[in-house]
Amino acid sequence: MRTAFVFLVAAGIAAGGAAYYIQYNNHVKKKCFRTAPIQRGDLTPTIGATGTLEPEDLIDVGSQITGKILNFGPDLDHPGKTVDFCSDVRKDMLLANIDPTYYQAQVDQAKAALMKAEAELKQLKAICEQAKNEWERAKELQPMKAIAGTDFDAAVADFLVAQANIAVGEASVQQAKAALAMAKINLDYTVIKSPVDGVVIARRVNVGQTVAASLNTPSMFLIAKDLRRMQVWVSVNEADIGRIRLDMPVRFTVDAFPNDTFRGTVTQIRMNATMTQNVVTYTVVVTTDNPDLKLYPYMTANVLFEVEQRRDVFMAPNAALQWEPKKSQIAAAVHKEAPSDSSRKDGAVESSAGEQVSEDVLPPVSSDGEANASTQRIWLADGDFVRPLDVVVGITDDINTEISGDDVNEGMRVVIGERQAEKGEEEDGSDETSNPFLPKIPKGRRPPPPPG
């Protein structure tokens, strides 16, 4: 008895589920077409990439000597402050002083060496003068045989050696002068000056820090010459680099100002490629104006290269060029009355309404079986069916494609896909999706008010 009761309950549940399933399937009528209008406007295909903002002229100020930073130069625009980040600097303006003690001592040592060399030169000149006088006396005594021949030869040799020593002394003086000049140059290097007018982007040293000049010059300040002119260094994939050209217009945005669009032009295409994880990219330099100083160095830019522009052209969504109907969805012989069965041509097919569809309404193909490259077929909604429209396709921006043709008009609705149509949707054109587990509210009626 209990088993029979359980069996009856299970059967009732199964019957209820089957009834609900049948009712829901009856509620879903059939598929309908999703359409979009043909629009008229401007079309601009672009190449997307990312880049980094860089100052157009960037000077790295370093030190050629080793020493401790004593102090920074005064900020001329802010009395009482020293040169720091974002300070405006002028050419030859003092940036920093390095401890000159060691280099001043080198200058003093070089001066002393020069004085010694000059004194030695005077001594050598005096010795040469004495040797000359002795040689002159030897020449007077030689005709009278009052001097030995060896003594005469010695006098001549002493005079010649004295002359040579003067030349050595003069060279020593020049060498001392050069050493003094070098010492003075090193002393001058203790004063760091700005080579250009600009803005300090980075200060990389602090007071008391020792800069060590060895094989690499230590960087102390990074100065941007003019932030009103900026560059964007863009990494472009090798697949797109062939479409980039000089003077190409570019637009880009930065995360700091998402609602602003900045413009520039391509000024350089660098040939040295970089490879990261087998991806080859090239650097393209884009120059842009920055009159309001809104753009900061090293911002990330989202760049769009404007490859080409079309003004006032017809555009269709790319989805319309990709969608293809089933043979049963094509309007019969483009709304011509179907012939009798006996007069049907070979290759004709029937639509879901039992009408003949001629093969000439299918998409055109070339002789090798591939779709024609210059023309393409899109489909217009025609009640429960679609009819073809042949168009000539042009450029695309990955969203819309340029189309043209004698029968193309603005506002035509082209099919871009299909969706499930709910019962009664034909009356109001609603595109809402349905959920069989949510309660259905009849069209035109409001839900009942809550109790109480």
pTM score of the predicted model: 0.66
Position 434 scores a pLDDT of 44
Position 152 scores a pLDDT of 86
Burial class (CB in 10 A: 0-12, 13-18, 19+), 150: exposed
Handedness of CA 305, 310, 316, 321 (dihedral sign): negative
Contact 316, 378 (CB under 8 A): yes
Position 4 scores a pLDDT of 58
Would you state the CATH architecture of domain 46-54+225-311?
A: Beta Barrel (2.40)
How far is the C-alpha of 169 from the C-alpha of 121, rounded, in Å?
5
Contact 433, 420 (CB under 8 A): yes
Q: What is the mean pLDDT of each run of 10 residues along the chain (452 residues)?
A: 61 64 52 89 92 94 94 93 95 96 96 96 94 89 83 90 94 97 96 95 94 84 94 96 95 96 97 93 97 95 93 92 89 50 39 43 42 76 88 89 90 88 49 45 46 44
- Cα angle at 344 between 341 and 348, to 5 degrees? 120
Residue 182, CA distances (Å) to 52, 80, 157, 216 in order = 42, 35, 38, 20
